[in-house]
Amino acid sequence: MAAQRLRERLGRGFLISGNAYGTALEPMGLAPGQCPDLWNLERPEAVASVHRAYVEAGCDIIQSNTFAAGNPISAAKWGLRERLGELIAAGVRLAKEAAKDRAFVFVTTSPTGALLEPYGALSPDAARAAFEEQAQLAAAAQPDALLYETFFAIEELEIAVRAAKATGLPVVATMTFDQGGRTSMGVSPQQAARALEAAGADVIGANCGTGPAAMEPVALALREATERPVMAQPNAGMSRLVAGRTEFPGTPEELADFAERMVAAGIKIVGGCCGTTPEHLRAVVKRLRR
């Protein structure tokens, strides 16, 4: 089984992951305010070309273009609630066709975008129902793992992980930490590691939010706080607005430097998030596979 093969690979060494579909599709014409996931149905060849580029760069893992709509609650905000299953199925299919036997496929989903009680109006039961539905839809598409990323509230991510565990697939859970080393909800790497390990996450990590320099101490803190494999996917530097466009200044060499240090420290999955390109991942592969 692919799940067992993934666990065995993580036990033997490290894996390299590609993930930056929103910023990858923008140069192809993705309009501001348009849901990237919709391209799984409307422009599948564009999405497939990004998948293929990551596979050809040498990535061991590619991620489905399913983050934005993600789950029933976030999908409803895009007006796509009734099409969520269709979007996930198409997203995983495109990734699997590109990956063939060369890379694992992780189906990715986002937070709900709503605050749990008592900070907001979302009840734990409603969040649980949403993530249970999402997990079943994702599992039906037969990916190699379920990935929950860019979470800020540990309580919400715990709910997502527990819902996903019922599928029997490996569950990867990552949070977004700021320059100060905590999420916007005040969660530290140590708190995240303890809570996510207790919830049953198979891999725990950090993604997005910062570039390699700020993510490095977070990843190392996670590594110290848990025996589970750790994943680290920074952005290509800190984003900046240039002539009305968001740019990421980080170079492929900088990401490769980061990845080399992380693997030496025992981080099991390294890669890139927003602003990283197949060129960035090619540099990582070249550095780590030499």
Each residue's pLDDT tens digit, 247-257: 788 999 999 99
Residue 1 confidence (pLDDT): 63
Read off φ and ψ for residue 246, nearest 5 degrees: -80, 125
Give the residue among 4, 2, 12 at the shortest CA–CA distance from 269. 12
Cα distance between residue 34 and residue 224, in whole Å: 39
pTM, rounded to two decimals: 0.95
Tell me the mean pLDDT in the region 61-75. 96
Q: What residues have CB less than 8 Å from 166, skipping those under 6 apart?
A: 132, 135
Residue 243 confidence (pLDDT): 67
Read off φ and ψ for residue 241, nearest 5 degrees: -95, 120
Domain 2-289 belongs to what architecture? Alpha-Beta Barrel (3.20)
Read off φ and ψ for residue 119, nearest 5 degrees: -80, -25
Residue 3 confidence (pLDDT): 74
Give the residue among 150, 265, 146 at the shortest CA–CA distance from 205. 150
Each residue's pLDDT tens digit, 3-32: 788 888 988 899 999 878 877 888 899 988
- Extents of the domains making up the chain: 2-289
Using the structure block, give the residue that is written with the tokens 């996931």: 37
| Number of C-beta neighbours around residue 1 at 10 A | 9
Residue 51 confidence (pLDDT): 96
Tell me the mean pLDDT in the region 177-183. 96
Can you say how many angstroms the Cα of residue 90 is from the centroid of all Cα atoms in its chain?
A: 18
pLDDT band at 36 (very low <50, low <70, confident <90, very high): very high
